[in-house]
Chains A and B, each alone.
Chain A
Amino acid sequence: MTRTLLSAGVLSVYAAGRVSEGDLAAARAQMGFSLAWHIIVACLGVGLPALTLLAEWYGIRTGNPAHQLLARRWARAMGVLFAVGAVSGTILSFEMGLLWPGLMGRFGQVIGLPFALEGIAFFVEAIFLGIYLYAWDRLPPRRHLLTGIPIVVAGTASAFFVVCANAWMNQPRGFTVRDGKVVHVNPWAAMLNPAAPPQTVHMILAAFMVASFLAAAVYAVAMLRGRRDTYHRAGFFIPFTLGAIVTPFQIYVGDWAARFLSRYQPTKLAAIEGVYRTRSHVPLTIGGVADGNGLKYGLEIPNGLSLLVGYDPGTVVKGLDRVPAAQRPPVTAVHWAFDLMVAIGFFLLAMGLWLLWAWWSRRRAGGELPTPRLFLAPAAAAGPAAVVALECGWSVTELGRQPWIVWGVMSVRDAANPAPGLMTGLWLVLVVYTAMTVATVYVLRRLARGTPVPRAPQEEDVARYPVV
């Protein structure tokens, strides 16, 4: 740790932060915006193929045309989302250089490996997606189903590799700085840094949750509007069940990730919980506003945080007082984002338990699963809520690292592009992304607005149903 902090001084001298305040803000806003956008689509890109395969497998096994039609429609949505995900992801790789050349010029080689591996995984994903989407009529059903499996595996692998690179920014490893130069690089140690396990698992589970709850929400809305046929029920229950299964694991992993912070990134945890003073018997504060000394107006649970961190009220929690004020993350934003994420996590858990209870009681009574409006309304809200939780979680990770781009090693300012005019780039990007958002939502809505399956369809007819 001493070494990296010493080297930080060296690096600051090197880059000298030539970027103007306005351009730095523009660069941060552009990166934040395009990442926040991409992360939603990327999660759908990881989770939706799994749901589609589930539906297709169900359809092949049972011969139920509703499942087959679902698989076809989801595959269409997958195609659209993958396209916008691929291009918005490409933009991110450009932005790494356009906005943060200071980071990439120095550390590009250190984190190149996970990106190269991600490139391979993404390539595999793109190839099999091409086959899966377009070879529906060229391959026998079972073989077609098999061509979808590499999409899920490669999608999950891409998420793993990319988040490994982000984890490195939180736990920089695998290099030495000598005389302002990066030497002795160990790219494997950099990639498999201590932050990688909790961060990657948390992110991948989040991807499945977001995709599941969002897909289910679409059909929950349709069911609330009275369309309760097999097609819509399947469209709701397949993803909602998957989401409900993943949620408890996610809460467990979230706890692991927070515990990881207490050991490896105590400043981030201190910002999350608004702990200013290093001490024991720290309460857990829910909500509240940071005033520079602590959280005001929050709901305090005595000894809560000390108990969560070390299972003992005497556990000492490191506070923000350990670092100079200029090196502290924005406490209120990080704290609220974290609290909101946790709250939504427990809401989703409750929805899952509700489903479990319904399933259990119906199993004894027989018949279909009940879908009262009282259940469907919050179930429909679960989709957008999962997205909000995702964005909050990501904000905690990124804002909680401020003002560092590479924690303890390089500041965001020193990484930024000193070229003038970044603000113009921000406006252009905002305009293009707005247009893309409108078009994506419009096209997806059209895809979802489907004709329901007739009561007794001929199997052959399903292929002729309008997919758009």
Chain B
Amino acid sequence: MLADAALAVMWVGLTCYALFGGADFGAGVWDLLAGGAERGRARRGLIEHSIGPVWEANHVWLIFVVVMLWSAFSPVFAAVMSTLYIPLTLAALGIIARGAAFAFRKASTELWQQRLFGACFALSSLLTPFFLGTVAGGVASGRVPPGLAEGDVLTSWLNPTSMLGGVLAVVTCAHLAAVYLCADADREGRPELASVLARDAVISGLAAGVVALAGIAVLHADAPALFHGLTHRALPLVVVSAVAGVTGLGLLARRRFVAARAAAALAVAAILWAWGAAQYPALLVGSTTLTGAAANASVLWAVLVSLGAGAVVLVPSLWLLYATFQRGVPERPSSR
């Protein structure tokens, strides 16, 4: 029961990272596709403006998930990190390149520097979610055995399910970002930019749909246990995801951008929870269950109570953050 609570909390963190961090990564992907320095200026400006104040807070969800995993399910953490250390190292390097380059680009004034840092930011925004997706695929397809580096360091992430996970992560991030950004563009009174972004959101949404459909075949052949879970116990969540995805596209077409944000978020969250439901109670498919890996009750209690207390501080703070930046700048002279 306590272990279930810890797992649920960790999964909430993972969902938040997929949604908020995913939108950040996706923004980087759109930054990459924005075109040359002149043509892409408006779009890059919007991206910088929209994610600048929030990306660090969004990024913390990843740390939260990592820490929850090692505190509550230490053996699983050790097994995953040691076997999948190649994609995880690459994702870690991508995280460095991305965060640092984003900050550097903001602080530089010359075009060549902005180009260099921008390219670094955008490219790592593409690669990092891809590698994280391959990690998810490796775990979901049962390629991580318990123990230290017991799995194959290459095939654990170079396999059909991992590739599916990587590609799906990238297109999903792109979709989330486009939906997120067009609501921002619309609010800031830039309808023409919002329209372009809405078009991109629809394209990326369709792409995500196509990848997901193709994924059915891949999972059927490569990860039968996961496939079985997704088509049986987790089926309602899969359906919710599909319906939310289609609804979101309809809302985009009707320029209902804020509602489209909610639909896109629901679609992504539902598929994550479907994965969780499909392999529950296995943490490492085929070997380690929740109860087998869970920490001492004293630890789970301490961590959950601390997080509960922390939430009392965090929730109003997060609200303050998003509230401060999700409304227009007040008409005030900027002198002080």
Contacts and interface: CB of A to CB of B under 8 A. Distances in A.
Interface of A: 15, 18, 60, 68, 76, 79-80, 82-84, 86-91, 93-98, 101-102, 104-110, 112-113, 115-120, 122-124, 126-131, 133-135, 137-139, 141, 150, 182-188, 417-421, 425, 428-429, 432-433, 436, 439-440, 443, 446-447, 459-460, 462-463, 468
B296 A79 contact: no
A96 B91 CA distance: 15
Nearest to B62: A90
Contacts of B289: none
Given A93-B63, A120-B313, A131-B321, A105 B78 contact: yes
Given A187-B302, A432-B93, A86 B79 contact: no
B85 A141 contact: no
Given A82-B56, A86-B99, A113 B306 contact: yes
B324 A138 contact: yes
A141 B336 contact: yes
A87 B96 contact: yes
A67 to B, nearest CB: 11
A83 B103 contact: yes
17 contacts: A87-B96, A89-B63, A93-B63, A105-B75, A107-B74, A108-B295, A112-B72, A112-B295, A116-B306, A119-B60, A119-B67, A127-B57, A127-B321, A187-B303, A417-B81, A420-B153, A463-B336
B56 A83 contact: yes
A104 B98 CA distance: 27
B107 interface: yes
Given A86-B99, A138-B329, A112 B303 contact: yes
B324 A131 contact: yes
A140 to B, nearest CB: 9
Contacts of B210: none
B148 A18 contact: yes
Given A98-B85, A131-B320, 16 more contacts: A91-B95, A93-B63, A98-B81, A101-B79, A105-B74, A108-B70, A110-B299, A123-B314, A128-B317, A129-B56, A185-B295, A418-B148, A419-B85, A433-B96, A439-B104, A459-B335
Interface in B281-336: 295-296, 298-299, 302-303, 306-307, 310, 313-314, 317-318, 320-321, 324-325, 329-330, 332-336
Contact of B107 (A68, A109, A112, A468): A468
B158 to A, nearest CB: 14
B155 interface: no
A184 B296 contact: yes
B71 interface: yes
Nearest to B107: A443
B72 A109 contact: yes
Contact of B317 (A105, A122, A150, A468): A150
Contact of A101 (B62, B71, B148, B335): B148
B180 interface: no
Contacts of B70: 96-97, 104, 108-109, 112, 115
Given A417-B148, A420-B153, A187 B298 contact: yes
Given A98-B81, A123-B64, A131-B324, A83 B54 contact: no
A91 B70 CA distance: 15
Nearest to A91: B92
Contacts of B79: 101, 105
Contacts of A428: 89, 93
B53 A122 contact: no
A84 B60 CA distance: 13
B88 A112 contact: no
B80 interface: yes
Nearest to A109: B295
A76 to B, nearest CB: 7
Nearest to B49: A134
B83 A86 contact: no
Interface string B133-155: 00000000000000011000100
B100 A117 contact: no
Contact of B85 (A88, A182, A425): A425
A122 B318 CA distance: 13
B30 interface: no
B52 interface: yes
Nearest to A30: B89
Contact of A83 (B91, B100, B318): B100
Contacts, number: 261
Nearest to B70: A108
Contacts of A184: 296, 298
A150 B82 CA distance: 36
A134 B57 contact: no
A390 B208 CA distance: 49
Given A130-B54, A459-B335, A463-B335, A419 B299 contact: no
Contacts of B56: 82-83, 86, 126, 129-130
Interface of B: 52-54, 56-57, 59-60, 62-64, 66-68, 70-72, 74-75, 77-83, 85-86, 88-89, 91-93, 95-104, 106-109, 117, 148-149, 153, 295-296, 298-299, 302-303, 306-307, 310, 313-314, 317-318, 320-321, 324-325, 329-330, 332-336
B298 A97 contact: no
A462 B99 CA distance: 29
B81 A130 contact: no
Given A109-B74, A120-B306, A97 B82 contact: yes
Contacts of B324: 131, 134-135, 138-139
Contact of A122 (B60, B78, B95, B106): B60
A101 B109 contact: no
B66 A93 contact: yes
Given A91-B96, A184-B296, A108 B78 contact: yes
Contacts of A418: 82, 148-149
Contact of B82 (A80, A98, A429): A98
B311 to A, nearest CB: 8
B121 to A, nearest CB: 11
A428 B81 CA distance: 17
Nearest to A112: B71
A79 B92 CA distance: 20
A183 B109 CA distance: 56
Most chain B Cβ neighbours within 10 Å, of A97, A126, A184 = A97
B320 A80 contact: no
Nearest to A110: B299
Contacts of B153: 419-421
B77 A104 contact: yes
B92 A97 contact: no
A105 B77 CA distance: 7
B142 to A, nearest CB: 19
B336 A68 contact: yes
A84 B81 contact: no
Contacts of B109: 446, 468
A439 B100 contact: yes
Most chain A Cβ neighbours within 10 Å, of B62, B108, B334, B336 = B336
Contacts of A188: 302
A117 B310 contact: yes
Contacts of B106: 79
Nearest to A439: B104
B307 A124 contact: no
B92 to A, nearest CB: 4
